[in-house]
Amino acid sequence: MNNNNQEPKTETIAETENFIAWRAEEPDGEVTYHVELQNSTVHFFEEEWQEFLELARSLT
């Protein structure tokens, strides 16, 4: 977690050997989600994140 008021507060949601998902609470109050897939990072706003979770659940 980062305590600087100008920097987002971050939290790891899940992590494996090759992937990590984390959330950031931006200084303006917006919450964003991020999935790092080796050399690429996918960024989501709250509504997009919820839709992505629905998609991921349907894969199993």
**What pLDDT tens digit does each residue of the chain (60 aa) get?**
555 568 999 999 999 999 999 999 999 999 999 999 989 999 999 999 999 999 999 998
Instruction: Name the helix (H) or strand (E) containing 2.
Output: none
2 located within any domain = no
pTM: 0.83
Number of domains forming the structure of the chain: 1
Going by C-alpha positions, the residue among 10, 60, 1, 58 that lies closest to residue 33 is: 10
Per-residue pLDDT at 51: 98
Per-residue pLDDT at 6: 86
Per-residue pLDDT at 56: 94
3 located within any domain = no
Residue 13 is part of which domain span?
9-58
